[in-house]
């Protein structure tokens, strides 16, 4: 199936728009796309008429333009006939927002839908989903514009069986500055499934990292997914629910999925280099790190800090996550001392972590980062920055990014998440250096790069 018109439409028909209730989900979707996105949106209701001075078409075939995407928000029982109309009108694909299919026990109705679509090679997302967020083209989520948080355009694609989880992930992406190429809520995934989207994003030049929130697979589908992900050539991050008996039952009632044996699936993912997140915060953190660095590391960390406490915490957390913090030789310690400013040479600690103390300046961080970038003792550098110390300026992020650009060794920064320090953070992020807002998240970023195995 060709999914290009589905995900990159120029025209959209929203089927089920109400003539009297402007807060109806279909109206929210139509108004949002008609007024705020690049796609040309048309309203469809079997009665015809008009809303807000715009035509409402009785049938998709009545629309004067060829439609790329139909968004269907109607009663479940009439969705198969609408899909048949879409096929007749040569629509490129559909998002079926409507619920009331397999998740409520009506498997026959869902199977009829799939049969009609398969016979015509017609792609659709859903049913029982929010659909597609494709900035700046369109947004099929039935969330009013003033309530949705929109991440910037970026390199991460997100796929989720749960629409609510996807919206939460998007909120966290926006907060952390992680940009999206596409976000897809697949609901019951009756036709287009995770493996189809994996293959699409594998070939999508605008996507560099792919994340999945999974609830379950059909029999033998999990193995196929893992093999396809391992051969994808791009980082794949998975957050899996249904890990416990209670979670498994919740999954079944949500999207009629089979949760499967979590322990086996988790072990196989690790074996094939798929990065598993344990919660939604890790999912976003991992996505940020892997959108910056694609080459795996062994996990030999060099830590540079101006606070002994932060350095000790980072060291403990690294060891807890299977990362190494190798001790430095006397030759390395002497070399580090010699590149630092005279004011801190006798008070700094040159072991690993390197504690530059609160008297350090931008130049000291630059010198230490450059020195560690040129040694084989470490293969990733963690920078624990406290912008409130007097010798640090808001230019340090950009200057450290230049060290990475020149030397090539991965850098991960920790900066407290305060608006006052946003200029420092921007210096990193504009130069594709990941920034964590807790020491633990900085360690998680390094862990994700270590666990990713590029094929």
For the chain, percent of residues with pLDDT exceeding 90? 91
DSSP 328: P
| Edge-to-edge strand list for the sheet holding 124-125 | 49-51, 54-57, 40-44, 11-15, 69-72, 93-96, 124-125
Task: Give the global pTM.
Answer: 0.91
Query: Average pLDDT, whole number, for the chain?
Result: 94
The pLDDT value given to residue 258: 45
Domains of the chain: 1-128 (3.40.50.720), 149-292 (3.40.50.261), 296-451 (3.40.50.261)
Furthest-apart CA atoms within the chain: distance in Å: 83
SS3 142: coil
Burial of 36 (0-12, 13-18, 19+ CB in 10 A): middle
Q: What digits encode the pLDDT tens for the residues 242-288?
A: 775 544 444 444 444 444 578 889 999 999 999 999 999 999 999 99
Closest CA to 265 of 253, 251, 255: 251
For the chain, percent of residues with pLDDT exceeding 70? 96
Looking at residues 332-343, what average pLDDT do you find?
Answer: 97
Looking at residues 422-432, what average pLDDT do you find?
Answer: 95
Question: Among the listed ranges 70-74, 135-139, 338-342, 395-399, which one has the minimum average pLDDT value?
Answer: 135-139
Backbone φ, ψ for residue 241 (5° rounding)? -105, 180
Backbone φ, ψ for residue 30 (5° rounding)? -65, -50
The pLDDT value given to residue 326: 98
Looking at residues 313-317, what average pLDDT do you find?
Answer: 98
The pLDDT value given to residue 454: 62
Inter-residue contact 275 to 236 (CB < 8 Å): yes
The whole-angstrom distance between residue 113's C-alpha and the CA centroid of its chain comes to: 30
Q: What digits encode the pLDDT tens for the residues 37-78?
A: 999 999 999 999 999 999 999 999 999 999 999 999 999 999
Question: In the predicted model, is pLDDT for residue 178 greater than 80?
Answer: yes
The pLDDT value given to residue 242: 75
Q: What digits encode the pLDDT tens for the residues 384-403?
A: 999 999 999 999 999 999 99
Inter-residue contact 116 to 83 (CB < 8 Å): yes
SS3 34: helix
Q: What digits encode the pLDDT tens for the residues 192-212?
A: 999 999 999 999 999 999 999
SS3 54: strand
**Where does the pLDDT of residue 417 fall: very low under 50, low under 70, confident under 90, or very high at 90 and above?**
confident
Q: What digits encode the pLDDT tens for the residues 167-177?
A: 999 999 999 99
């Amino acid at each position: 199936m060709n999914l290009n018109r589905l995900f990159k439409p120029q025209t959209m028909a929203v089927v089920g728009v109400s003539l009297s209730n402007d807060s109806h989900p279909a109206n929210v979707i139509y108004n949002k796309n008609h007024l705020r996105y690049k796609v040309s949106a048309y309203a469809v209701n079997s009665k015809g008429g008009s809303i807000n001075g715009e035509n409402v078409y009785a049938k998709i075939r009545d629309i004067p333009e060829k439609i790329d995407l139909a968004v269907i928000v109607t009663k479940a029982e009439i969705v198969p006939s609408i899909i048949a109309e879409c096929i007749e009108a040569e629509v490129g694909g559909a998002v079926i927002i409507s619920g009331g299919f397999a998740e409520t026990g009506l498997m026959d109705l869902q199977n009829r839908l799939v049969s009609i679509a398969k016979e015509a090679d017609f792609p659709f997302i859903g049913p029982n989903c929010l659909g597609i967020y494709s900035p700046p083209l369109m947004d099929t989520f039935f969330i009013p514009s003033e309530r949705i948080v929109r991440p910037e355009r970026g390199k991460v694609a997100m796929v989720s069986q749960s629409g609510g989880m996807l919206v939460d992930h998007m909120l966290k992406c926006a907060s952390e500055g992680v940009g999206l190429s596409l976000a897809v809520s697949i609901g019951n995934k009756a036709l287009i499934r995770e493996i189809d989207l994996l293959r699409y994003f594998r070939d999508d030049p605008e996507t560099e990292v792919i994340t999945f929130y999974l609830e379950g697979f059909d029999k033998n589908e999990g193995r196929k997914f893992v093999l396809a992900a391992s051969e994808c050539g791009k980082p794949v991050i998975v957050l899996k629910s249904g890990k416990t008996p209670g979670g498994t039952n919740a999954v079944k009632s949500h999207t009629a999925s089979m949760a499967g044996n979590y322990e086996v699936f988790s072990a196989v993912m690790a074996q094939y280099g798929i990065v598993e997140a344990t919660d939604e915060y890790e999912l976003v953190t991992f996505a940020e790190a892997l959108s910056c660095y694609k080459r795996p590391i062994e996990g030999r960390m060099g830590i540079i800090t101006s606070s002994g406490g932060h350095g000790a915490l980072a060291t403990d957390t690294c060891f807890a996550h299977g990362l190494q913090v190798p001790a430095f030789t006397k030759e390395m310690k002497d070399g580090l001392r010699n590149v630092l400013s005279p004011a801190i040479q006798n008070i700094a600690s040159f072991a690993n972590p390197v504690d530059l103390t609160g008297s350090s300046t931008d130049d000291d961080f630059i010198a230490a980062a450059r020195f560690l970038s040129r040694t084989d003792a470490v293969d990733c550098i963690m920078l624990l920055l406290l912008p409130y110390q007097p010798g640090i300026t808001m230019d340090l992020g950009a200057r450290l990014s230049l060290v990475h650009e020149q030397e090539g060794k991965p850098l991960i920064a920790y900066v407290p998440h305060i608006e006052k320090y946003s200029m420092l953070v921007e210096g990193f992020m504009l130069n594709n250096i990941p920034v964590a807002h807790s020491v633990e998240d900085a360690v998680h970023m390094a862990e994700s790069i270590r666990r990713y195995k590029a094929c």
